[in-house]
Amino acid sequence: MNRFAQLLDRLSYQPARNGKLRLMTDYFRHTPDPERGYALAALTGALSFRHAKPALIRDLVGERVDPALFALSYDFVGDLSETVALIWRADESAHGSNHPPVLLSEVVDGLARAGRSDLRKLLASWLDALDETGRWAFLKLITGALRVGVSARLARTAVADLGGVEVDAVEQVWHGLEPPYLPLFAWLEGKGERPTAIDPAPFRPAMLAQPLNEKDFEKLDPREFCAEWKWDGIRLQVSAGRDERGHRLLRLYSRSGEEVTPAFPDLADALGAIEARDFALDGELLVLREKRVQSFATLQQRLNRKTVTAKLVAEFPAHLRAYDIIALDGEDLRALPFVVRRARLERFVKEVDCPRLDISPLVAFEDWPSLANARENPAEAGAGEDGAAVEGVMLKRRDSIYVAGRPTGPWFKWKRDPFNIDAVLMYAQRGHGKRSSFYSDYTFGVWRASADGDELVPVGKAYFGFTDEELARIDRFVRNHTIERFGPVRVVEHGADKGLVFEIAFEGLNRSTRHKSGVAMRFPRIARIRWDKPPREADRIEALELLLKEG
Amino acid sequence: MAEQSAAAAVLTTTPAGLYCPAGDFHIDPIRGAARALVTHGHSDHARAGSTQVLATQATLAIMRARLGPNFACSLQAIRYGEPLTIGDARVTFVPAGHVLGSAQILIEAHGRRVVVSGDYKRAHDPTCAPFEPIRCDAFVSEATFGLPVFRHPPAVDEVAKLLASLRVFPERTHVVGAYSLGKAQRLLALLLEAGWDRPVWVHGAMESMIALYRADGVRMVETRHVTTADKPKLGGEIVLCPPSAASDIWLRKMPDPLVAFASGWMRVRARARQRGVELPLVVSDHADWSELCATVKETGCSELWVTHGAEEALVHWARTQGLAARPLHMIGFGDEDEADGLSTETQA
Ligand SMILES: [Zn+2]
Ligand SMILES: [Zn+2]
* pLDDT value of position B343: 32
pLDDT band at B96 (very low <50, low <70, confident <90, very high): very high
Tens digit of each residue's pLDDT (9 = 90 or more) over A190-218:
999 888 767 788 888 889 998 887 667 77
> DSSP state, A493?
P
Task: Give the whole-angstrom CA distance, residue A500 versus residue A516.
Answer: 21
What is the enclosing helix (H) or strand (E) of A277?
none
Q: What CATH number should be reported for the domain whose range is A210-415?
A: 3.30.470.30
Q: Which of A12, A69, A480 sits opposite B316 (nearest CB)?
A: A69
The answer, for A82 touching chain B at a CB cutoff of 8 Å, is yes
Q: Determine, for residues B270 and A435 on separate chains, whether the beta-carbon distance falls below 8 Å.
A: yes
Tell me if the domain spanning A419-550 has CATH number 2.40.50.140: yes
Angle between helices A132-142 and A116-129 (to 10 degrees): 150
Which residue out of A20, A140, A230, A396 is catalytically annotated? A230
Beta strands at A525-530 and A501-506: parallel, antiparallel or unpaired: antiparallel
Q: Determine, for residues B268 and A82 on separate chains, whether the beta-carbon distance falls below 8 Å.
A: yes
Phi, psi of A456 (to 5 degrees): -90, 135
* pLDDT value of position B338: 54
Rounded average pLDDT over B270-281: 86
Q: Determine, for residues A72 and B312 on separate chains, whether the beta-carbon distance falls below 8 Å.
A: yes
The amino acid at residue A281 is L
* pLDDT value of position B347: 24
Q: Which of B148, B272, B342 sits opposite A73 (nearest CB)?
A: B148
Whether A415 is a known active-site residue: answer no
Q: Determine, for residues A86 and B150 on separate chains, whether the beta-carbon distance falls below 8 Å.
A: yes
> In angstroms, what is the span from residue B103 Cα to ligand 1's centroid?
10
Task: Give the whole-angstrom CA distance, residue A420 versus residue A521.
Answer: 11
Domains of chain B and any CATH numbers: 6-149+285-327 (3.60.15.10), 155-281 (3.40.50.12650)
Nearest residue on chain B to A74, alpha-carbon basis: B149
Q: Which of B151, B268, B313 sits opposite A77 (nearest CB)?
A: B268
> DSSP state, A382?
I
Beta strands at A501-506 and A419-430: parallel, antiparallel or unpaired: antiparallel
Phi, psi of A110 (to 5 degrees): -60, -40
Averaged pLDDT of chain A:
87
> In angstroms, what is the span from residue B337 Cα to ligand 2's centroid?
10
> In angstroms, what is the span from residue B119 Cα to ligand 2's centroid?
5
* pLDDT value of position B249: 64
Q: What CATH number should be reported for the domain whose range is A2-142?
A: 1.10.3260.10
ipTM of the shown complex = 0.91
The amino acid at residue A99 is H
Q: How far is B341 from chain A (nearest CA, A)?
A: 8
Task: Give the whole-angstrom CA distance, residue A403 versus residue A113.
Answer: 45
CB contacts, 8 Å: A13 with chain B: 272-273, 277-280
Q: How far is B169 from chain A (nearest CA, A)?
A: 12
Q: Determine, for residues A468 and B150 on separate chains, whether the beta-carbon distance falls below 8 Å.
A: no
Restricting to B residues 3-62, those with a Cβ less than 8 Å away from any Cβ of A are none
Task: Give the whole-angstrom CA distance, residue A32 versus residue B113.
Answer: 62
Q: Determine, for residues A82 and B276 on separate chains, whether the beta-carbon distance falls below 8 Å.
A: no
* pLDDT value of position B181: 95
A64, A68, A69, A72 alpha-carbon torsion, rounded to 10°:
140
Tens digit of each residue's pLDDT (9 = 90 or more) over A311-335:
999 999 999 999 999 999 989 999 9
Q: Which of A13, A73, A83 sits opposite B273 (nearest CB)?
A: A13
Q: What is the CA radius of gyration of chain B?
A: 20
Under the phi-then-psi rule, with left for phi > 0, alpha for psi from -120 to 50, and beta for the rest, what region is A384?
Answer: left
Q: Which of B274, B311, B316, B319 should be substituted to probe chain A, the one whose Cβ sees the most A Cβ atoms within 10 Å?
A: B274
User: Please, which residues have CB within 8 angstroms of residue B130's CB and are 6 or more apart in sequence?
Assistant: B95, B97, B122
Q: Which of A11, A20, A72 should be substituted to probe chain B, the one whose Cβ sees the most B Cβ atoms within 10 Å?
A: A72
User: Please, which residues have CB within 8 angstroms of residue B22's CB and are 6 or more apart in sequence?
Assistant: B10, B87, B88, B89, B107, B109, B110
Q: Please confirm whether the linkage preceding A488 is cis (ω < 30° from 0).
A: no
Q: Which of A388, A413, A179 has its CA nearest to residue A295?
A: A388
Q: Determine, for residues A69 and B267 on separate chains, whether the beta-carbon distance falls below 8 Å.
A: no
Whether residue B340 has pLDDT greater than 50: no
pLDDT band at A73 (very low <50, low <70, confident <90, very high): very high
CB contacts, 8 Å: A68 with chain B: 313, 316
> In angstroms, what is the span from residue B120 Cα to ligand 2's centroid?
9
Rounded average pLDDT over A39-58: 84
Whether residue B342 has pLDDT greater than 50: no
Task: Give the whole-angstrom CA distance, residue B172 versus residue B234.
Answer: 8
Q: Determine, for residues B313 and A69 on separate chains, whether the beta-carbon distance falls below 8 Å.
A: yes
Q: Determine, for residues B310 and A479 on separate chains, whether the beta-carbon distance falls below 8 Å.
A: no
Task: Give the whole-angstrom CA distance, residue A176 versus residue A166.
Answer: 18
Task: Give the whole-angstrom CA distance, residue A446 versus residue A541.
Answer: 6
Whether residue A152 has pLDDT greater than 80: yes
Rounded average pLDDT over B21-28: 97
CB of B125 closer than 8 Å to CB of B186: yes
Domain boundaries, chain A: 2-142, 210-415, 419-550
> DSSP state, A161?
H
Restricting to B residues 273-292, those with a Cβ less than 8 Å away from any Cβ of A are 273-280
Q: Locate the DSSP E strands across A451-534.
A: 453-462, 482-486, 489-492, 501-506, 508-511, 519-522, 525-530
Lowest mean pLDDT, pick from A4-18, A234-248, A399-413, A537-551? A537-551
Rounded average pLDDT over A72-82: 90
Task: Give residue B145's Cα distance to chain centre.
Answer: 12
Task: Give the whole-angstrom CA distance, residue B155 versus residue B146.
Answer: 19
Task: Give the whole-angstrom CA distance, residue B318 versus residue B296.
Answer: 8
Tens digit of each residue's pLDDT (9 = 90 or more) over A285-300:
999 999 899 987 788 7
Per-residue DSSP letters for A445-464? EEEEEETTEEEEEEEEEE--
SS (H, E, C) chain B: CCCCCHHHHHCEEECCEEEECCCCEEECCCCCCCEEECCCCCCCCCCCCCCEEEECHHHHHHHHHHHCCCCCCEEEECCECCCEEECCEEEEEEECCCCCCCEEEEEEECCEEEEECCCCCCCCCCCCCCCCCCCCCEEEEEECCCCCCCCCCCHHHHHHHHHHHHHHCCCCCEEEECCCCCHHHHHHHHHHHCCCCCCEEECHHHHHHHHHHHHCCCCCCCEEEHHHCCHHHCCCCEEEECHHHCCCHHHHHCCCCEEEEECHHHHCHHHHHHCCCCEEECCCCCCCHHHHHHHHHHHCCCEEEEEEECHHHHHHHHHHCCCEEEECCCCCCCCHHHHHHHHHHHHC
Query: How many CB pairs lie under 8 A apart between chains A and B?
Result: 85
Averaged pLDDT of chain B:
90
* pLDDT value of position B345: 26
A81: number of CA atoms within 13 Å, CB side? 22
User: Please, which residues have CB within 8 angstroms of residue A287's CB and are 6 or more apart in sequence?
Assistant: A293, A294, A298, A299, A302, A316, A317, A318, A319
The amino acid at residue B325 is A
Q: Determine, for residues B341 and A73 on separate chains, whether the beta-carbon distance falls below 8 Å.
A: no
Q: Which of A66, A69, A476 sits opposite B338 (nearest CB)?
A: A476
The answer, for A435 touching chain B at a CB cutoff of 8 Å, is yes
Can you tell me whether residue A435 is helix, strand or coil?
helix
* pLDDT value of position A339: 95
